[in-house]
């Protein structure tokens, strides 16, 4: 099995490199392949992969609200180009999507399934949903994986760190920390997601999957657990999405159910608290990380 991994030096891509070390993996960074370049598939033709994993995305949610065309260019048009190449060359596409394809009713308490109707609230969510439609439109064999709240040791180059490291940095700086307490989701450790993806792509159970850690929390509850496990007691307090004042709307509830994953015969993901504990135990120094917001 030969796999071309686009975005190999990103937050998820770095963990996929480790999770796929037993296969013939060709890691591709932005310098190797720019998916917005119309000639990007020439590189894939040289590699001749059986599978193409696309982790590249425009994932700066508020910037997408200001420049929707840029988000759609990366998250939809470029994805269609990759999917069409896969359809024409018999390759399987593994594409990463998001919980932000859902609107997230504030009164909802039941995790969203793969069969629930998406209804994105912002340009980012719309562009990612368009990317899902683009993959299906080509008829290529595919895995579309929706996930949420990613954090990993490689950080997120587009956001300048990750939520966990930002919380720890702010705590050490002694600054008051206010985190939204009315957005409920499941933070997901990229190492766990990468490991599950490595299992899934060895099957032929193609389709749409929700893959996150299990359990759920608000961003405020996540921050509180980060500090509890780290033995820190900063000035942490809850705030609302409205008070936070971000340009883009976020879903109030975007917890994802894992029906397709279990139906494929794969085990469920670890709980987010246990995943966070492992992340903190294995983390390198957070010195030098920069701000990131959910």
- Please report which confidence band the pLDDT of residue 283 belongs to, taking 50, 70 and 90 as the band edges: confident
**pLDDT tens, residue by residue, 12-69:** 999 999 999 999 999 999 999 999 998 999 999 999 999 999 999 999 999 999 999 9
**pLDDT tens, residue by residue, 79-100:** 999 999 999 999 999 999 999 9
Instruction: Catalogue the active-site residues.
Output: 124
Using a pLDDT cut of 70, give the percent of the chain over it: 94
Residue predicted with more confidence, 59 or 130: 130
Distance, CA of 219 to CA of 228 (rounded, Å): 14
Residue 36 falls inside a structural domain: yes
Give Cα 94 distance to the centre of its chain. 13
The pLDDT value recorded for residue 178 is 96
Q: How many domains does the chain have?
A: 1
Residue 104 falls inside a structural domain: yes
The pLDDT value recorded for residue 170 is 94
Residue 198 falls inside a structural domain: yes
Distance, CA of 48 to CA of 41 (rounded, Å): 10
**Torsion region of 245: left, alpha or beta (phi above 0 gives left; psi -120 to 50 gives alpha):** left
Place of tokens 């109030």: 252
Where do runs of H (alpha helix) occur along 119-215? 123-138, 163-173, 190-200
**pLDDT tens, residue by residue, 234-252:** 999 999 999 888 899 899 9
Residue 230 falls inside a structural domain: no
114: domain CATH number is 3.40.50.720
Place of tokens 């030969």: 2
Residue 69 falls inside a structural domain: yes
Beta-strand relationship, 184-185 and 217-218: antiparallel
Query: SS3 of 266, please?
Result: coil
Q: Is residue 157 over pLDDT 90?
A: no
Using a pLDDT cut of 90, give the percent of the chain over it: 85
Residue 208 falls inside a structural domain: yes
Residue 227 falls inside a structural domain: no
Look over the chain and give the mean of its residue pLDDT values, rounded to a whole number: 92
Buried b (16+ CB within 10 A) or exposed e, 108-137: beebbebeeebebbbbbbbbbbbbbebbee
Residue 121 falls inside a structural domain: yes
Distance, CA of 13 to CA of 9 (rounded, Å): 6
The structure's pTM equals: 0.92
Show the domain range for 116: 2-161+187-215+251-271
Q: Based on the number of CB atoms within 10 Å of its own CB, is 224 exposed (0-12), middle (13-18) or buried (19 or more)?
A: middle
Tell which residue, 125, 86, 82, has the closest CA to residue 103.
125
């Amino acid at each position: 099995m030969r796999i071309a991994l686009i975005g190999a030096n990103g937050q998820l891509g770095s963990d996929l490199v480790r999770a796929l070390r037993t296969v013939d993996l060709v890691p591709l960074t932005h310098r190797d392949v720019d998916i917005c370049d119309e000639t990007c598939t020439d590189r894939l033709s040289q590699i001749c992969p059986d599978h193409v994993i696309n982790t590249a995305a425009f994932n700066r949610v508020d910037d997408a609200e200001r420049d929707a065309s840029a988000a759609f260019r990366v998250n939809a048009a470029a994805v269609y180009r990759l999917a069409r190449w896969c359809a024409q060359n018999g390759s399987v596409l593994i594409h990463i999507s998001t919980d932000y394809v859902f609107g997230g009713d504030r009164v909802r308490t039941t995790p969203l399934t793969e069969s629930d109707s998406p209804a994105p609230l912002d340009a980012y969510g719309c562009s990612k949903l368009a990317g899902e439609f683009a993959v299906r439109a080509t008829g290529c064999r595919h895995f579309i994986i929706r996930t949420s709240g990613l954090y990993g040791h490689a950080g997120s180059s587009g956001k300048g760190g990750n939520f966990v490291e930002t919380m720890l940095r702010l705590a050490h700086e002694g600054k008051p920390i206010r985190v939204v307490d009315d957005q409920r989701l499941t933070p997901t450790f990229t190492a766990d997601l990468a490991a599950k993806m490595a299992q899934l792509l060895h099957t032929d159970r193609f389709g749409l999957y929700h893959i996150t850690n299990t359990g759920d929390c608000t961003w405020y509850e996540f921050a509180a657990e980060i500090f509890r496990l780290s033995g820190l007691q900063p000035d942490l307090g809850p705030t609302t999405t409205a008070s936070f004042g971000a340009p883009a709307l976020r879903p109030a509830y975007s917890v994802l159910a894992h029906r397709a994953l279990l139906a494929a015969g794969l085990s469920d993901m670890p709980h987010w608290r246990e995943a966070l504990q492992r992340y903190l135990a294995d983390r390198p120094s957070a010195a030098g990380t920069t701000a990131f917001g959910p």
